[in-house]
């Protein structure tokens, strides 16, 4: 029987959550296009979206678990395919051996970026993390957005309460250190982001981009300000300074719930626009005019991403962005910075009566504080390699490639190679997973249910969209894999994953029936559990979350409300409307107020002042990163359609610097940082500002023993060989990936 059909689903590859229309002919994907009827993306798609076909078909993608059985004569690991039960038995043996020899503190975990896009991980992570009980949890968050969580924690009492730019209604959009024409946006789920930027201008608004590079986003903006890497906090503090000095503070509706505005003036006093000009490279008058424009615009949204978070003052920078929204009356107002309300969120304020805290424990070797339950990933190599009590001997990695994505890659590689045991949940045998004893491969995206639990909380419209499995497979998805791992870890043996799925559903419902204000408060949880639908574990947990969420059907009490079944009937998604003001109800601070000085920000401003003086006298070349539309961190370089064409892993150098350094376009350069050295192809271009060089991350696919044929043929070099693991934002533990001091010379 031929399998011909058209299906619709949400692309899980980046934060934009585009709707895809997938045509299937004879059981194979014929074509993937943007879904014109998707309620949110209305047909937008980027070149990666259609590659779900190539990813599904990629012969290198693992179809069965593999277990490492020694090394070949060249030292490369040798893997053999095994059945799932056998693979889980090896996991259990390894875990028991390590725990017996060293105790539970010897077990750590690294969580990669695709988890955020994965339904099964989002529904089941809690079970696994609780079971494993590890203090050594590391993730891509500390090479990414951790400053955003920490700033939110202190300001709003909840590290997951993140404002997004309400750009569809903004009169002024200021984008700092983000390049959505390439990345398609981050901590701002907005499919068709480029079109939305153009729409701001088309309706008479203004778009300003602040970036050391003349990016495609900068080219599309009304104004582009080139800034010296790492100095954004100085610029933003100067904006606040000017707003206060010129009496342009206007708190608006939330003025009654904000404390500490009076102290701002003294705190930002040293950061005059004139002082900021010499540090940032942006002249004082331009800074004043930008501040005036933000104050004068009917609505303004300032949004910062990677260029503002992966720097030494990442948390302070993020806090300053929110402070500007607060003091100009743009927080929680249409057209400003607003809080989404996801279909799966628990809406009731969760006031704990306790302030937001970090540092509940510290990394063993370097003593860095825990944040959001994690330790800085820059500390991971030391935690593995440095002997002593609590040394890590076993790691789990789930959807992560830290050997390419995290600082000081050579040492990270050495660390993973030295482990006594390593288990990876991953779809590829790559630079990181080649060190694993067992790789457990979930199916490809087309073989999994999908709902964006994480990104519906970061979305510029409230939308709900469920995507059922397209192709059945006997490869389990993350929910089943994580359930089985949780049982092994808790000593329940290798049981039926349904036990874990059912337990998760029961916990959600039991909690809800006990919670004041829940739509199912006081109901019989067991009776409701029997009403939960879904063929798979993640789907059932999602159903429980949706039905008890802010738009849920409350198991019949609100018959028009959401459930998985209802979403299945709406393959193009359900639009839940524009963002609405949510403060003060959405505050989880102990006082239900916003205290600007909760947290270390006064000290951070003092630290910034001291550093700014040093920066003024420091003219070393600075390395920053860059993304490409056809990339996705380190893991999509195995798809020929995405890597063909000109090699993209080049060091971009400004013509003036090239002349000074004796570099030529197409030549080779040696680039050296405090921790590493690389030889790389040079591209001379004035896209990058003088004094700055740019190299993309996620390359360097030349390690023996990986099985990524296409990537190996387009290896490139790994920029994180140059990243210094000790350079971090001390507040959030986030690595400095932008503004790294380097020396460059002809090779």
Ligand X SMILES: Nc1nc2c(c(=O)[nH]1)N[C@H]1C(S)=C(S)[C@@H](COP(=O)(O)OP(=O)(O)OC[C@H]3O[C@@H](n4cnc5c(=O)[nH]c(N)nc54)[C@H](O)[C@@H]3O)O[C@H]1N2
**Which of these ranges, 138-146, 166-174, 409-417, 518-526, lies near ligand X under the rule CB under 6 A?**
138-146
Locate 616 and state its tokens.
Answer: 């003024």
- E-strand ranges in 285-338 read 300-304, 337-338
Q: Does 177 bind ligand X (CB under 6 A)?
A: yes
718 binds, among ligand SF4, Mo ion, ligand X, none (CB under 5 to 8 A by kind): none
11 binds, among ligand SF4, Mo ion, ligand X, none (CB under 5 to 8 A by kind): ligand SF4
Please report how close the Cβ of residue 674 comes to ligand SF4 at its closest, in angstroms.
Answer: 35
Q: Which residue, 46 or 225, is less far from ligand SF4 as judged by CB?
A: 46
Please report how close the Cβ of residue 356 comes to ligand X at its closest, in angstroms.
Answer: 23
For ligand SF4, the binding residue among 17, 433, 654, 714 (CB under 6 A) is 17
Q: Does 186 bind ligand X (CB under 6 A)?
A: yes
Q: Which residue, 508 or 636, is less far from ligand X as judged by CB?
A: 636
Q: Nearest CA to 294 among 259, 329, 267?
A: 329
Helix (H) or strand (E) holding 290: helix 284-296
Beta bridge partners of 711: none
Tokens 């895809």, residue?
20
C-alpha 575/C-alpha 464 separation (Å) is: 7
Burial 107-121, CB ≥16 within 10 A → b, else e: bbbbbbbbbbbbbbb
For ligand X, the binding residue among 49, 229, 381, 700 (CB under 6 A) is 229
Q: Is 603 exposed, middle or buried (0-12, 13-18, 19+ CB in 10 A)?
A: exposed
282 binds, among ligand SF4, ligand X, Mo ion, none (CB under 5 to 8 A by kind): none
**Which of these ranges, 139-147, 212-220, 367-375, 556-564, lies near Mo ion under the rule CB under 5 A?**
139-147
Residues in contact with ligand SF4, shown as a per-residue x/- string from 149 to 178 under the rule CB under 6 A: ------------------------------
Residues in contact with ligand X, shown as a per-residue x/- string from 306 to 325 under the rule CB under 6 A: xxx--x--------------
Q: Does 629 bind ligand X (CB under 6 A)?
A: yes
97-126 residues near ligand X, rule: CB under 6 A: 112-114, 118
Q: Nearest CA to 711 among 374, 401, 383?
A: 401
Q: Nearest CA to 110 among 312, 406, 427?
A: 406
Please report how close the Cβ of residue 675 comes to ligand SF4 at its closest, in angstroms.
Answer: 32
Q: Does 67 bind ligand X (CB under 6 A)?
A: no
Residue 220 CA, chain-centre distance (Å), reads 25
Distances (CA, A) of 383 to 128, 362, 395, 733: 21, 11, 11, 15
For ligand SF4, the binding residue among 22, 24, 29, 46 (CB under 6 A) is 46
Beta bridge partners of 451: none
Query: CB of 376 within 8 A of CB of 383?
Result: no
Locate 46 and state its tokens.
Answer: 């980027």
142-161 residues near Mo ion, rule: CB under 5 A: 144
Please report how close the Cβ of residue 683 comes to ligand X at its closest, in angstroms.
Answer: 15
Beta bridge partners of 301: 173
Q: Does 467 bind ligand X (CB under 6 A)?
A: no
Q: Does 230 bind ligand X (CB under 6 A)?
A: yes
For ligand X, the binding residue among 305, 364, 393, 536 (CB under 6 A) is 305
Q: Which residue, 63 or 593, is less far from ligand X as judged by CB?
A: 63
Query: CB of 343 within 8 A of CB of 550?
Result: yes
Size of the site for ligand X (CB under 6 A): 62
DSSP 8-state assignment for residue 678: E
244 binds, among ligand SF4, ligand X, Mo ion, none (CB under 5 to 8 A by kind): none
Distances (CA, A) of 191 to 41, 49, 162, 455, 667: 5, 12, 18, 11, 38
Q: Which residue, 17 or 732, is less far from ligand SF4 as judged by CB?
A: 17
635 binds, among Mo ion, ligand X, ligand SF4, none (CB under 5 to 8 A by kind): ligand X
Helix (H) or strand (E) holding 127: helix 119-132
738 binds, among ligand X, Mo ion, ligand SF4, none (CB under 5 to 8 A by kind): ligand X
Query: CB of 108 within 8 A of CB of 383?
Result: yes
Please list, in sequence order, all residues whose beta carbon lies within 8 angstroms of the beta carbon of residue 78, skipping any fewer than 6 positions away.
Answer: 68, 69, 70, 71, 72
C-alpha 170/C-alpha 300 separation (Å) is: 6
Query: CB of 342 within 8 A of CB of 456?
Result: yes
C-alpha 6/C-alpha 28 separation (Å) is: 11
Helix (H) or strand (E) holding 33: strand 28-34
Q: Which residue, 17 or 694, is less far from ligand SF4 as judged by CB?
A: 17
Beta bridge partners of 7: 22
Roughly how many angstroms between the first and final C-alpha of the chain, as a whole number? 61
Q: What is the DSSP string of 363-417?
A: -TTT-PBPBTTB--GGGHHHHHHS-STT---EEEEES--HHHHSSSHHHHHHHHH
Q: Which residue, 280 or 631, is less far from ligand SF4 as judged by CB?
A: 631
Q: Does 405 bind ligand X (CB under 6 A)?
A: yes
Residues in contact with ligand SF4, shown as a per-residue x/- string from 184 to 223 under the rule CB under 6 A: x------x--------------------------------
For ligand SF4, the binding residue among 21, 24, 49, 579 (CB under 6 A) is 49
584 binds, among Mo ion, ligand X, ligand SF4, none (CB under 5 to 8 A by kind): none
Please report how close the Cβ of residue 17 comes to ligand SF4 at its closest, in angstroms.
Answer: 6
For the chain, the C-alpha Rg in angstroms (whole number) is 25
Contact footprint for ligand SF4 (CB under 6 A)? 11, 13-14, 16-18, 45-46, 48-49, 184, 191
Contact footprint for Mo ion (CB under 5 A)? 144
Contact footprint for ligand X (CB under 6 A)? 14, 112-114, 118, 140, 143-144, 176-180, 182-184, 186, 210-213, 215, 227, 229-230, 232, 305-308, 311, 398-402, 405, 425-428, 430, 442, 624-629, 631-635, 697-698, 719-720, 723, 737-739
């Amino acid at each position: 029987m031929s399998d011909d059909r058209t299906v619709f689903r949400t692309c899980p590859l980046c934060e934009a959550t585009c709707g895809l229309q997938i045509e299937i002919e004879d059981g194979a994907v014929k074509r993937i296009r943007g879904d014109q009827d998707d309620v949110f993306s209305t047909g937008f798609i980027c070149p990666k979206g259609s590659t779900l076909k190539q990813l599904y078909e990629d012969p290198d993608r693992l179809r069965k678990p593999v277990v490492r059985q020694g090394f070949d004569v060249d030292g490369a690991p040798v893997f053999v395919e095994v059945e799932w039960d056998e693979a889980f038995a090896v996991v259990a043996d390894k875990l028991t051996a390590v725990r017996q020899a060293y105790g539970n503190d010897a077990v750590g975990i690294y969580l990669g970026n695709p988890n955020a896009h994965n339904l099964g991980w989002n529904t089941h992570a809690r079970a696994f993390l609780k079971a494993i009980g590890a203090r050594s949890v590391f993730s891509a968050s500390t090479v990414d957005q951790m400053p955003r969580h920490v700033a939110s924690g202190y300001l709003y009492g909840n590290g997951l309460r993140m404002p997004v730019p309400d750009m569809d209604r903004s009169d002024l959009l200021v984008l700092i250190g983000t390049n959505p024409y390439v990345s398609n946006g981050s901590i701002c789920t907005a499919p068709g982001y480029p079109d939305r930027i153009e729409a701001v201008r088309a309706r008479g608004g203004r778009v300003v981009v602040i970036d050391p590079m003349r990016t495609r986003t900068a080219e599309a903006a009304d104004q582009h300000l080139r800034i010296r890497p790492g100095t954004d906090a100085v610029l933003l503090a100067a904006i606040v300074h000017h707003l206060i000095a010129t009496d342009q503070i206007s708190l608006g509706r939330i003025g009654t719930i904000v404390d500490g505005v009076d102290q701002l003036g003294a705190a930002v006093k040293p950061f005059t626009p004139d002082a900021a000009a010499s540090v940032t490279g942006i002249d004082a008058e331009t800074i004043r005019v930008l501040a005036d424009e933000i104050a004068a615009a009917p609505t303004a949204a300032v949004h910062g991403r990677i260029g503002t978070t992966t720097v030494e003052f990442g948390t302070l920078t993020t806090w300053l962005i929110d402070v500007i929204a607060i003091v100009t009356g743009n927080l929680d107002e249409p057209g400003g910075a607003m809080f989404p309300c996801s279909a799966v969120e628990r809406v009731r304020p969760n006031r704990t009566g306790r302030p937001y805290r970090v540092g509940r424990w510290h990394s063993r070797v370097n003593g860095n504080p825990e944040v959001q339950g994690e330790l800085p990933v820059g500390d991971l190599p030391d935690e593995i390699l440095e002997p002593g009590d609590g040394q890590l001997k076993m790691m789990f990695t789930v959807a992560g490639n830290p050997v390419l994505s995290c600082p000081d890659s050579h040492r990270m590689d050495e660390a993973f190679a030295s482990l006594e045991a390593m288990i990876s949940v991953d779809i590829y045998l790559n630079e990181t997973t080649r060190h694993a004893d067992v790789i457990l491969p979930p199916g490809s995206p087309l073989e999994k249910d999908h709902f964006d639990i994480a990104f519906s909380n970061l979305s510029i419209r409230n939308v709900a969209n469920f995507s059922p499995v397209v192709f059945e497979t006997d490869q389990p998805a993350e929910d089943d894999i994580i359930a089985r791992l949780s049982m092994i870890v808790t000593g329940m043996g290798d049981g039926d994953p349904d036990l874990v799925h059912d337990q998760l559903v029961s916990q959600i419902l039991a909690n809800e029936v006990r919670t004041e204000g829940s739509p199912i408060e006081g109901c019989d949880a067991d009776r409701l559990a029997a009403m939960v639908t879904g063929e798979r574990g993640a789907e059932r947990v999602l159903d429980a979350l949706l039905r008890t969420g802010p738009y849920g059907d409350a198991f019949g009490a609100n018959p028009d409300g959401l459930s998985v079944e209802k979403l299945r009937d709406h393959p193009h998604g359900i639009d839940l409307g524009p963002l609405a003001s949510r403060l003060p109800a959405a505050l989880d601070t102990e006082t239900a107020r916003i205290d600007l000085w909760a947290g270390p920000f006064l000290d951070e401003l003092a630290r910034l002042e001291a550093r700014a003086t040093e920066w003024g006298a420091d003219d070393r070349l600075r390395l920053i990163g860059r993304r490409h539309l056809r990339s996705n961190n380190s893991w999509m370089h195995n798809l020929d359609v995405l890597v063909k064409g000109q090699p993209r892993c080049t060091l971009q150098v400004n013509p003036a610097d090239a002349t000074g350094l004796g570099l030529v376009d197409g030549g080779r350069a040696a680039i050296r940082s405090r921790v590493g050295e690389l030889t790389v192809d040079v591209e001379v271009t004035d896209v990058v500002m003088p004094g700055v060089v740019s190299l993309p991350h996620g390359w360097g696919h030349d390690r023996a023993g990986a099985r990524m044929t296409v990537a190996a043929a387009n290896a490139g070099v790994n920029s994180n060989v140059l990243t210094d693991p000790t350079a971090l934002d001390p507040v959030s533990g986030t690595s400095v990936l932008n503004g790294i001091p380097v020396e460059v010379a002809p090779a």
